[in-house]
Amino acid sequence: MTDQTKIALITGASRGLGAALAEALAPEYHIVAVARTTGGLEELDDRIKAKGGAATLAPMDIADPNAMATLCRGIHDRWGKVDLWMHTAVHTSALTPAHFVDPKEWAKAVNINATATSVLIPYIAPLLSGSGHAVFFDDPKAGEKFYGIYGATKAAQLALARSWAVETERTGPRVSIVEPAPMPTAVRARFHPGEDREVLTSPADEAARILTLL
């Protein structure tokens, strides 16, 4: 590795859009892939290596502040920076009426979708400095019936990201928010069981489109 190596940190990289983005960015970037699923990360690593790229696997829970602090310190000590952070990690709560919200499920969604983001931004911002780029992914379900837990916690995440975006317009890092097209991912399958997945955009195609936009 040289100091010129570009580093892409993908949180939620083991499957779906996160994995597709990691593959699309390699080998131009060294990928730091974060997810809880070790098997998924290892499969991703195999695909990245097959393309001539390289990855550092971080089987960690983004909701664990100590683990995220260790991760960011390790990135700092090895490379001193992050050029691109793509935050695809999300907790998808089961669809439920607002008057049947499970407190434990609510707490889990808040922790992963909102609180973890509030921890990650202060940790990663110094690594991005003024020249890096952070990307968040919108899924505007707030206010839709049965999406109370997911919609509210995802909206909280995006509200924080939007504030960060306007706060750093002049100083950097650049902060972008994109809304992916519907994809045949595990996230969507939980919300739309029985849907015809053949008509949806593949994560690989959507990753290519997003990176072209950015």
pLDDT tens for 130-152 read 999 999 999 999 999 999 999 99
pTM comes to 0.94
- Encode pLDDT of 4-54 as tens digits: 799 999 999 999 999 999 999 998 999 999 999 999 999 999 999 999 999
Share of the chain above pLDDT 90, in %: 90
**Which one-letter amino acid corresponds to residue 65?**
P
Q: Parse the chain into domains and list their residue ranges.
A: 7-206
Answer for the pair 91, 63: CB distance below 8 angstroms, yes or no: no
198: its two tokens = 């053949």
Going by C-beta distance under 8 Å and a sequence separation of 6 or more, which residues neighbour residue 76? 126, 127
Instruction: Reply yes or no on whether the pLDDT at 188 is more than 50.
Output: yes
Name the class of domain 7-206: alpha beta
